[in-house]
Amino acid sequence: MTTTRDAAAPPVAHREPATRTHHGDTVTDDYAWLAARDRPETRAYLEAENAHTEAATAHLAPLAETLFQEIKDRTRETDLSVPTRIGAWWYYSRTEEGRQYGIHCRRVVRAGEADPPATDGGPLDGEEVLLDGNALAAGHEFFALGTYDVSPDGRRLAYSTDHVGNERFTLRVKDLDTGEMLPDEIPDAAYGSAWSADGGTLFYLTVDAQWRPYRVWRHEIGTTQDRDVLVHEESDERFWAGVSLTRSHEYVLIDLHSKLTSEVLAVPAHAPAAPPVVVAPRRHGVEYTVEHHGDRFLLLHNDGAEDFALAATPAAAPGPWTTLLPHTPGVRLEAVDAFHDHLVVSLRAEGLTGLRVLPAGADDGWDITFPEPLYSVHLSGNPEYRTDSVRLSYASLTTPQSVYDYRLADRELVLRKRTPVLGDFDPAAYTQHREWAVADDGTRVPISLVCRRDTPRDGSAPAVLYGYGSYEASMDPWFSIPRLSLLDRGVVWAVAHVRGGGEMGRHWYTEGKLLAKKNTFTDFVACARHLTSSGWTSAARLVARGGSAGGLLMGAVANLAPAEFAGILAQVPFVDPLTSMLDPTLPLTVTEWEEWGNPLDDPEVYAYMRSYSPYENVAAQRYPAILAMSGLNDTRVLYTEPTKWIARLRATAPGGDYLLKTEMGAGHGGPSGRYDAWREEAFMSAWTLSRLGLA
């Protein structure tokens, strides 16, 4: 049988190393030449790596094909989302068997039709196709939809497309009355847009040389781009801009934020040419978001409130804040959604998400309750301001994604759809658990697990431990059809809720960033050791997995505790953070200094990052098998990071199984088509099973 040790790795062409000196420290980078993306030698090297990986994993191809078919067979390929009412229309998207991308549609609301129309997965009678992703993707290796924004009157659609994977979009406008494309076309737009109340004006964003959204423009429909008006330009390179229309259709909000500070500007949606008004001037370290509700703006903020509080200020003349929901330590308020007669606050407490309803004018609200001990819930698809129900999305590690309408009058949850899992899937065959590891400093770190009920607890079961741990992003329990293929082969799937994420409140995030970043890594190792010491698995049968900033986590634990893992799967891994954070010309670097620190100016930050950077700290030790996945067009984590990392591992710690697979026509999110994404997941799962002894 062919193994990764039998296939020779591609040679690294000899190039002059690059050296850099910062704060008295001189570093030699033997692989800096790989950053020359357009040089033929670089592309040849990446293609040679891909050929090496293909040869080294050829024996896994039948298993990968089996896993792909299992994903496909469990998925209802022709399906329809729950229709969402906006004005006189039901809006929805659907998929068709054999086609890669979604189809976006609408259908007129019929007389007496209060509930969303039911369907068996096929198109609704009388539907109007607004946008067909398959048609837009024709002839392109990659396709992604950025903006999809219907005007308030339902007459126009603004949408943007990316055919490369670099997240630069071309923005277009479609006349939904005639079906014709309007001549309005704006290249190099960023995510996000907002319509004026009458649908005659469109606000959009463009990026700077570092691909930071920093300019907000006003475009009159039917005019050329050279007549567009610059509404705001953000000169502080730590900040980036966003734009949105409030649910009430009364204001266009321009959101300016860094990792630590916020400022929101408001433009009346009925007077789009009016100058923006500052809702609250930026103050360093104060974050807030804004919702419009009646005659007031609602502000969710952290001013003297680590886990955030809810306040209000007059919309006509923003000024002092009046507290509506005071700060409660340990209850992290994450968002507020305003409707005419009520508010819904999204929160988390004790590691679980929740929703609290606050009726307008009432002093007390209530929390919506759910039956499972582990789950995740959030609002989903609520565009209507005047409504007597709210839609939410619910899932757990054993319950497929479920869409509910929550009727406010009787406090009843009405299930509209549960994602079907075809075949012999029985949720009762699986069980989920919450465990707690103890970190080096005594902190208790939660772990969520799912496995088959018949999984042994004697250390013999194989396991996957997933982690992220950055940006206050919480890895709340989620359901996965591809994961079933692992569970049914006896694998335990676990999620380590390490510091740097937001699962346990704001402090959980701050204790895993900047000069406390190493807590993220030691927390993950503590979780791995807990799984082995408590009988869930053994180090010889445990694979670690993470992507992007979670890929940094993978590289760090590979250096820190290589003996704890049989394999490490790192997707688009941020494994050369020091090099990236030293270069302010790269995308995201300046805006990320408040997350990681500024090693360019601060010697303490430089030394700290130098001490944990995976690329900088590859050592002559035995590593577990490593598979790194990358995208050539990735602008968030450049392809050079995993490429250089694998090259240094081979040179410094020879004899290991180190593989690199680069998608040559994709970006940070990998392949764009659903079948292509399933094949990539099947490939990674096959490699994982091989490291677990199940191939």
DSSP SS3 for 44: helix
Selecting among 228, 255, 634, 657, the annotated active-site residue is 634
Q: What are phi and psi of 30, to 5 degrees?
A: -70, -15
H or E element at residue 418: strand 412-418
Separate counts of helices (H) and strands (E) for the chain: 12, 38
The C-alpha atoms of residue 437 and residue 523 are separated, in whole angstroms, by 8
Q: Is 548 a catalytic residue?
A: yes
Contact 87, 79 (CB under 8 A): no
Closest CA to 465 of 498, 439, 438, 502: 498
Q: What are phi and psi of 116, to 5 degrees?
A: -60, 140
Interacting residues of 92 by C-beta distance below 8 A, sequence separation 6+: 80, 81, 82, 83, 84, 104, 105, 106, 107, 124
Size of the chain in residues: 695
Selecting among 232, 292, 342, 668, the annotated active-site residue is 668
The C-alpha angle 22, 28, 32, rounded to 5 degrees, equals 105
If one counts every other C-beta atom within 10 angstroms of the C-beta of residue 126, the result is 11
What the block records as the tokens of 447 is 């772990």
The owner of tokens 């801009």 is: 241
Q: Is 480 a catalytic residue?
A: no
Closest CA to 442 of 493, 496, 499: 499
Q: In what order do the strands lie in the sheet with 144-150?
A: 144-150, 156-162, 169-175, 181-195, 201-207, 213-220, 229-233
Q: Is 23 a catalytic residue?
A: no
- Ramachandran bin of 61, using left for φ above 0, alpha for ψ from -120 to 50, beta for the remaining angles: alpha
The C-alpha atoms of residue 523 and residue 438 are separated, in whole angstroms, by 8
Selecting among 262, 470, 485, 548, the annotated active-site residue is 548
Amino acid type, 695? A
Question: Cα dist. 419→81, 395, 451, 538, 675 in Å?
Answer: 9, 10, 20, 34, 18
H or E element at residue 609: helix 603-612
Alpha carbon distance, N-terminus to C-terminus of the chain: 11
Closest CA to 397 of 507, 475, 470, 337: 475
CA 20 to chain centre: 33
The owner of tokens 């088509």 is: 673
DSSP, residue by residue, 10-64: PPPPP-PPEEEEETTEEEEETTGGGG-TTSHHHHHHHHHHHHHHHHHTGGGHHHH
What the block records as the tokens of 287 is 């974050």
Catalytic residues: 548, 634, 668
